[in-house]
Structure 1
Amino acid sequence: MKKFTLRSVCVFAFGFVLMGCEKDNDSATPFAANDTKNFGTSPTSCEIIEFDGYNDIVTGGGAVTTVYSEGTPVRISAQLRSARGNNIDTERGVYLNNNAAVLYNTSQPDNRNKNYRTPNNNAIRPMGNVLTVGRQQGNSTAIYNKGSRLEMDFSEMGTITLNGIHVLDIEQNEADSKLDLIDKNGKIIKTFNLPVTGAYGATRLNTEETPGVAKIRVTFGGEGTSNGSGAIDVIEFCRD
């Protein structure tokens, strides 16, 4: 269970990212165990972004900056929530400027988080690399659990229709974590609460085939608090 500020794990570029668990949440879709490549995804999805295709992921300064889908870049950034210093976006909380988007390899958990190895009771499939928020420290990654936000910018595709997104490691005390879908003018189209998966669990959030999305923003933990972590994977969408 997450009772500490930073979690150190080694990052490798392999593994399998599709996963699932059943949750009592209207926005969380239980997974059917068929077709391993598309396990737990909508058959209407035209493209799926996952984070095991190392050659399609660009990093800078230890942080993930870009992932490619069918040759088109999707820009990625993340910020740590902080009570002081170098803050941005004070209307939605105090965040540090530096990009803190990192990969976490759930196939190689560290000793402190050995129960993150999948499959487990709350994540019935292996998950491989997932996208989260933290700091790169040499050959390892420290995951931040004091609150953060993560953004994926699809504007170089124009806009997309978002079908679903897989959510990991949201505990009950992080139930106020959320997903904002944002249009090309920066207006929030829809907001979804992230489903509680339990420690190291995973499930699919059904985003109701929402069109006109230029950016998604995931906030881990409630704004104004010093609590919250998690991860995302398997972004399902079609270009508008």
Structure 2
Amino acid sequence: MRTRLFKTCTAAACIALLYGCTPDNEEMADFEKINRAQAAILEPGCEMVTFDHVVTGTNGFVTAVMSSPGSEQIMVHAYQRTASGSYRTNLNVANIFDSSQDWSQHLHDMQVVDILTPHQDFGGGGVGAGGARGSAYANDSDLGDMMIINRFDEANKPYDNNSGGMISFDFSSMGTVTMSSITVLDVDSYEGASKIELFGANGNLLSVVPVQISESNGKQIVDLGNTAGVARMVVHLGPDVTGASTGSGAVDNIVFCRPPQEYGCTYTQGYWKNHATGKKADAAWNGMHDDQFYQSGSTYLQVLNTAPKGGNAYYILAHQFIAAKLNMVNASSTPEVTAAFNSAEAYFSTATPANPYGAASRADLIRWAGILADYNEGRVGPGHCD
């Protein structure tokens, strides 16, 4: 087996752009490809397989893909569908197709131009009504390297299989992941049974997502519903709803996320009240106890020591917010906790204790406080410090 790196995709390109440096041509090409595709939906902890980093066997077919150089391998196996509707299991035919290659040499071959990107209407070589300008599935961007189920038994003949088949992606080297989306190209009207299956670690079927008919050369981003706990994904290209042996096409830009790693532990608001100053001071305060707490007119420690008279939800939320802010110095959060924290921070930027419900309802403040309290008291997140 050998690792084959196509157009390099590294974080260095993004970092270079941020700091005014110039990444090399390969880094820039791949950065632009991802940006054009769907980088806007990539959140912290999420990755994209662009099929530019692959491992091939001695026969040239792809055995594994990676989201970036050095990342865990996602094992791949592509099966051709036969005329009888069964699958060939004796040969893995997962292959890479360069969808941005010089299209002029393929004008005679309509079995290839329907998976070129972008469509001719957008300056590329793609041909087909589905990918044309004005279509709901307009093929308007260069996707570069894509994965296909190869038609031939030789990897140096990269043509998609007209009889379709299935591609299995095994994420078990990462444990399980949360599946976000995948781009699928060229699902014709006679390939309406195309679908994506998501399986858990025990082989249990978690979800079946239908792939829409995009017509020839049409491009679609299939929403996988942020399905969590996925260990394996199987992409079925075709067959026809009648069972006919069809299913040409290609896939690209698999977006998945990994569960955040937990670290550290949390303390309650009572701990932080008693560890702000003096010999027992916790370093996480770092002088913040004397800083003014937003628009309150009081310091952080003064707010923490102020009882919520009359059930003033400003202070109920502030106590949990301050404790969470200090806990987050050394402990991981969760998406729900972070969302509640951010909502509370936006609230405190304009609210005052005297007018606590001008920017948000009391119910909102109590709800956010409850989420943060669960975090501070160890019911969610990394747990309470013993």
Q: Which residue in 1 is equivalent to 2:50?
A: 50
Which secondary structure does the structure 2 equivalent of 1:104 belong to? strand
Q: Which residue in 2 is equivalent to 1:125?
A: 141
| Alignment length (residue pairs) | 201
Instruction: Please state how far the C-alpha of 1:232 moved relative to its aligned partner.
Output: 1.0
- Matched AA of 2:93: A
Q: Which residue in 2 is equivalent to 1:20?
A: none
The CA distance in 1 between the partners of 2:184 and 2:114, in whole Å, is: 17
The CA distance in 2 between the partners of 1:81 and 1:140, in whole Å, is: 18
Q: Which residue in 2 is equivalent to 1:238?
A: 257
Instruction: Please state how far the C-alpha of 1:209 moved relative to its aligned partner.
Output: 0.7
Is 1:179 the equivalent of 2:177? no
Q: What's the CA shift string for 1:25-70, capped at 9, x where partnerless?
A: xxxxxxxxx9961633524361111112xxx311111211011235
Q: Which residue in 2 is equivalent to 1:225?
A: 244
Which secondary structure does the structure 1 equivalent of 2:35 belong to? helix
Change (3 A) 1:65 1:35: closer
- When Rg is computed on C-alpha atoms for both structures, the one with the higher figure is 2
The CA distance in 2 between the partners of 1:239 and 1:115, in whole Å, is: 34
Change (3 A) 1:225 1:237: same
Is 1:191 the equivalent of 2:208? yes
Q: Which residue in 2 is equivalent to 1:164?
A: 181
- Matched AA of 2:169: M
2:37 to 36, 39, 43: 39
Which secondary structure does the structure 1 equivalent of 2:74 belong to? strand
- Matched AA of 2:96: L
Say if 1:80 and 1:147, in contact at 8 Å, map to a contact too.
yes
Q: Which residue in 2 is equivalent to 1:149?
A: 166
Which secondary structure does the structure 2 equivalent of 1:200 belong to? strand
Q: Which residue in 2 is equivalent to 1:72?
A: 72
1:206 to 223, 230, 243: 223
- Matched AA of 1:118: T
Change (3 A) 1:106 1:14: farther
Which secondary structure does the structure 2 equivalent of 1:180 belong to? strand
Instruction: Please state how far the C-alpha of 1:115 moved relative to its aligned partner.
Output: 5.4
Say if 1:40 and 1:204, in contact at 8 Å, map to a contact too.
no
Gaps of 5+ in 1: 1-11, 17-33, 85-92
Is 1:96 the equivalent of 2:93? no
- Considering fraction of residues, name the structure with more helix: 2
TM-score normalized by the length of structure 1: 0.75
Q: What's the CA shift string for 1:74-99, capped at 9, x where partnerless?
A: 00001111246xxxxxxxx5211110
Say if 1:181 and 1:191, in contact at 8 Å, map to a contact too.
yes
1:106 to 95, 99, 106: 99
The CA distance in 2 between the partners of 1:72 and 1:155, in whole Å, is: 10
The CA distance in 2 between the partners of 1:238 and 1:38, in whole Å, is: 20
Say if 1:15 and 1:128, in contact at 8 Å, map to a contact too.
no
The CA distance in 2 between the partners of 1:138 and 1:63, in whole Å, is: 6
Q: What's the CA shift string for 1:130-162, capped at 9, x where partnerless?
A: 011013536331321113011100000000001
Moved more, 97-106 or 195-204: 195-204
Q: What's the CA shift string for 1:107-126, capped at 9, x where partnerless?
A: 11433134544222231101
Q: Which residue in 2 is equivalent to 1:19?
A: none
The CA distance in 2 between the partners of 1:66 and 1:239, in whole Å, is: 18
Gaps of 5+ in 2: 10-31, 120-131, 133-137, 260-386
Change (3 A) 1:230 1:117: closer
Change (3 A) 1:132 1:212: same
Instruction: Please state how far the C-alpha of 1:198 moved relative to its aligned partner.
Output: 1.9
The CA distance in 2 between the partners of 1:72 and 1:15, in whole Å, is: 16
- Matched AA of 1:227: T
Change (3 A) 1:137 1:36: closer
- Considering fraction of residues, name the structure with more strand: 1
